[in-house]
Amino acid sequence: MWADIIKYIILFGILHSSIYMVFSLGFSLIFGVAKIPHLAYGALFTMSAYLSYIFLTSLGLNPWISMVVAVLVVALLNLIIGDVIVKPSLKMPVSVFISTFAVAYIVEEVFRIELGLTPITLPSLSGVTIIWGVPVNNQWFLVLLISIFMSAFLLAFLRYTTTGKATRAVAESWEESMIIGIDPLKVFRITMFLSGVYAATAGILLSPLKAVTPEMGWGPLFTAFAIIILGGMGSIKGTIIASLIYGFVEQGITWTLGGAFAEIAPLILIIVTLIVRPTGLFGEEGRT
């Protein structure tokens, strides 16, 4: 019995960690550069799923095209949110907290009013693959492949490109980055767009596996909070490692104590991390 449980924990720990990684990387990127809690980030997750569904059903677009268009639209909307709502309050985290929470609630209510409470799902890759005797929906392997690619891309972008190096400099200090000729607001806009891509991609990848509802973004948002606190605020490397830790812990709780206990795992992880190691696993030195 325990051999089967361990098998499930390892397999689904890897798969669930991959989707948490994609979503949390964008959230960590925003926090690293802007130092603000972007509470509308979870709404981007929801928005991408609904927009892809609308493009697919109402406009008749090809499923793949509808997903790509939805990702780009959400990324642009996040850029607008950054310019209109976040940027004016960058030095007032409480204002950003309140205003982005309001945006998230508005998005949730708009979808609730327009599309109702009936859950929807997006098309999934067909078929299953047997791993260690366990049937796994092929959609999970698409999630895993895209997660690996997007994680590698972000690490390479930050380390090897001029814009990525500028992003790391701004994450260290807006003032000092301006001294060496970097425009922090330009970096901020790139960060908002890129983080929107990561949030939207996560929403679209997971939607075929879980029902889409107006409030679906809050769970991933709390999970992302737990992950970036565990990994270290704004640390990309820490976010990747913390996503893996969180995925295995969550699945361990799910397969031993039950899914109800796993629902409170993010909150427990946040509390324990803040008590034991407030700076997270990588602290200040691991940022971006």
For the record, the structure tokens of 36 come out as: 């603000």
What's the whole-number mean pLDDT along residues 54-81?
A: 91
For the record, the structure tokens of 121 come out as: 């799902």
Residue 120's pLDDT is what? 84
Q: Nearest CA to 286 among 212, 218, 228?
A: 228
Listed in order, strand segments (DSSP E) in 36-174 are 128-131, 134-137
Domain boundaries, the chain: 2-119+135-286
Res. 125 pLDDT band, cuts 50 70 90 = confident
**What single letter denotes the amino acid at residue 212?**
V
Q: Nearest CA to 15 among 123, 119, 146?
A: 146
What's the whole-number mean pLDDT along residues 112-122?
A: 83
pLDDT tens column, 147-181:
999 999 999 999 999 998 998 888 888 888 888 88
pLDDT tens column, 215-261:
888 888 888 888 888 888 778 888 999 999 888 888 888 888 777 77
Res. 285 pLDDT band, cuts 50 70 90 = very low
For the record, the structure tokens of 200 come out as: 């939207």
CATH 1.10.230 fits 2-119+135-286, yes or no: no
Residue 7's pLDDT is what? 84
The number of C-alpha atoms within 13 Å of 271 and in the hemisphere containing its C-beta is: 5
Contact 20, 147 (CB under 8 A): no
Q: Nearest CA to 20 among 231, 273, 211?
A: 231
**What single letter denotes the amino acid at residue 283?**
G
pLDDT tens column, 197-212:
999 999 999 888 888 8
Write the CB contacts of 135 (distance below 8 Å, at least 6 apart in sequence): 128, 129
**How far apart are alpha carbons 47 and 200 in whole angstroms?**
7
Res. 288 pLDDT band, cuts 50 70 90 = low
- Residue 106: pLDDT above 70? yes
Residue 286's pLDDT is what? 41
Its pTM surpasses 0.85: yes
Q: Nearest CA to 25 among 107, 147, 144?
A: 147
- Residue 284: pLDDT above 70? no
Contact 287, 232 (CB under 8 A): yes
Residue 95's pLDDT is what? 82
Find residue 120's DSSP bridge partners: 212
